[in-house]
Amino acid sequence: TPAAHPGVLGPPRPSLGCWDLCCPSWSAGTPTAHPWVLGSPLPSLRCWDPHCPPWGNGITAALPWVLGSPLSSLGARGSLSAPQPVSRAAEEQERLLRHRPDQPRSPKVLKVAIIGAPNAGKSTLSNQLLGRKVFAVSKKVHTTRCQAQGIVTSEDTQLVSSWWPERSLTAAVFSFRHKLNESMLKDPWESMKHADIVLVLVDVSDHWTRNCLSQEVLKCLSQFPQIPSVLVLNKVDLVKKKFILLDLVAELTEGIVNGQKLKMRYNPEHNSHCSLDSSNPKPCEHKHLKNMKGWPGFQEIFMLAALHGEEVDTLKQYLLMQAKPGPWEFHSGVLTNQSPQEICDNIIREKMLEYLPLEVPYGVHQVTEMWEEGPSGELLIMQNLVVPRKSHMMMLIGRKGKIISRIAQEAGQDLMNAFLCDIRLKLRVEVKS
Ligand SMILES: Nc1nc2c(ncn2[C@@H]2O[C@H](COP(=O)(O)OP(=O)(O)OP(=O)(O)O)[C@@H](O)[C@H]2O)c(=O)[nH]1
């Protein structure tokens, strides 16, 4: 099904029938045993459960359609090369950012805006799209503070993605509470105006929020109805009963995808069906936003587990294929518009968010004292963490220095992966004088 197997929903081709949710073990919740990742090549697109009936024409026939282009072109993009490291020297990064893009003769570009609730997985998804962790991720809300961009360059195409927490789209009060960077409040609308596609990310493991889109997101989508939008259901790995995803799709789309009405059928033997009814086109009623739970204007639906990279490649391929002819914005050597120091600050902050009570990391002022190359080519970083109170200092250091050394060790590891070089990271905690 678009909902459970390939993870993508879209406009049907006349030859396509229903996509069946017929695997008995599917509804028993064995996601890893199922090929609900569509990025794999066709021959391996089979259910791994021997008791599962072989795919009918639904899945395989749907593949080229699901991705909106013939398989051959997918193959050409199938082997996306490993991403380069982020440059570790600020001057080098600045130089790359200033550099004229080294674009090919017929460049293509797609500006992607990612919106979604705090913790929906925007940063995780962005890292996965890049293939390298350069954005901080945390289970505490509002890890995303300054608006960052991720740049994926593949062959002739460049994807430029930006994202914000959904509430920054409207709520000024929010900045007050969480001291969000000012640019976050102004930029979203401005950047959204220039986006070519909007990804609306929903955390399907969150029982409280998963059934409806927030007013902020609905307002945003209705403000820019001309920008194609895509619904991305994230964290499907955490949903045991996969058939719930079908209900969510129905609710979050108001039963309409790409102008087609969704048809849902269930029966007790798990033969639940979901299809698009092309004979019933465009019943897109105009309800008042306040009465809407979902958005009837989505053109595609993806289901993925960004944390594990599942289905991310399918989404990436789809985005690459949506790109339109246009000049690149960045040199192909650029992965993010963040400076190396910003990446470092955010990663250290991520670890503080992970191991400390919420009020502590938000009060820490990070000052980089040293950033230089060591004798063996390693990167030496020394950062002071300035806290407002002695009690915060004690928490940050932890018993026998356990917390601070864990933060330094994990942050160092992440930075090593971002910059692809040895890192020696020293953290010092001091109370603000
Ligand atoms: N199980 C699971 N966890 C995920 C998935 N995607 C993200 N997460 C986790 O969800 C938490 C939030 O992820 P982030 O990427 O920081 O979310 P965000 O939307 O950028 O959050 P804000 O910065 O608060 O707006 C982290 O603990 C991630 O590891 C997923 O697919 N599956």
pLDDT by 10s per residue, the chain, length 433 = 333 333 344 343 332 222 322 222 222 223 332 333 222 222 222 233 334 333 322 222 222 223 223 323 333 333 345 677 777 777 788 787 877 788 889 999 999 999 888 889 988 999 999 998 988 888 876 555 556 789 999 999 999 998 765 445 543 333 333 344 444 445 556 667 789 999 999 999 999 999 999 888 898 888 888 999 999 999 999 999 888 898 899 999 999 998 888 876 655 555 555 556 555 444 444 567 778 889 999 999 999 999 999 999 999 999 999 999 999 999 988 999 888 999 999 999 999 999 998 788 888 999 999 999 999 989 999 999 999 999 999 999 999 999 999 999 999 999 999 999 999 999 999 999 8
Answer whether residue 330 is part of any domain: no
At 93, list the tokens.
Answer: 């990064």
Clarify whether residues 110 and 247 are in a common domain: yes
Clarify whether residues 249 and 352 are in a common domain: no
Please, are residues 58 and 65 in contact by the beta-carbon 8 Å criterion? no
126 Cα nearest atom in ligand 1: 15
At 56, list the tokens.
Answer: 């009918």
Q: What separation in angstroms does the CA of 419 have from each of 123, 151, 332, 341?
A: 18, 16, 16, 11
Answer whether residue 412 is part of any domain: yes
Clarify whether residues 246 and 314 are in a common domain: yes
Q: What separation in angstroms does the CA of 329 have from each of 157, 228, 318, 326, 350?
A: 11, 20, 20, 9, 29
Answer whether residue 3 is part of any domain: no
How far, in Å, from the CA of 121 to the mean position of ligand 1? Answer: 3
Answer whether residue 334 is part of any domain: no
User: Which of 265, 290, 325 marks a domain boundary?
Assistant: 325
Clarify whether residues 347 and 315 are in a common domain: no
Residues in the ligand 1 pocket, defined by CB under 6 Å: 116, 118-124, 137-139, 141-144, 165, 234-235, 237-238, 305-307
Clarify whether residues 52 and 27 are in a common domain: yes
Q: Range of 210's domain?
A: 8-325
Clarify whether residues 280 and 364 are in a common domain: no
Answer whether residue 30 is part of any domain: yes
What pLDDT is recorded for position 106?
A: 93
Please, are residues 234 and 120 in contact by the beta-carbon 8 Å criterion? yes
310 Cα nearest atom in ligand 1: 31
How far, in Å, from the CA of 143 to the mean position of ligand 1? Answer: 9
What pLDDT is recorded for position 358?
A: 77
Of all protein residues, whose CA lies closest to atom 1 belonging to ligand 1? 235
Clarify whether residues 404 and 256 are in a common domain: no
Answer whether residue 408 is part of any domain: yes
Separation of alpha carbons 56 and 173, rounded Å? 52
| CATH, residue 179 | 3.40.50.300
Clarify whether residues 267 and 383 are in a common domain: no
User: Which of 295, 325, 355 marks a domain boundary?
Assistant: 325
Answer whether residue 173 is part of any domain: yes
How many structural domains are present in the chain?
Answer: 2
Clarify whether residues 30 and 179 are in a common domain: yes
At 272, list the tokens.
Answer: 């639940």
Please, are residues 63 and 8 in contact by the beta-carbon 8 Å criterion? no
Clarify whether residues 162 and 125 are in a common domain: yes
How far, in Å, from the CA of 144 to the mean position of ligand 1? Answer: 11
164 Cα nearest atom in ligand 1: 25
Answer whether residue 153 is part of any domain: yes
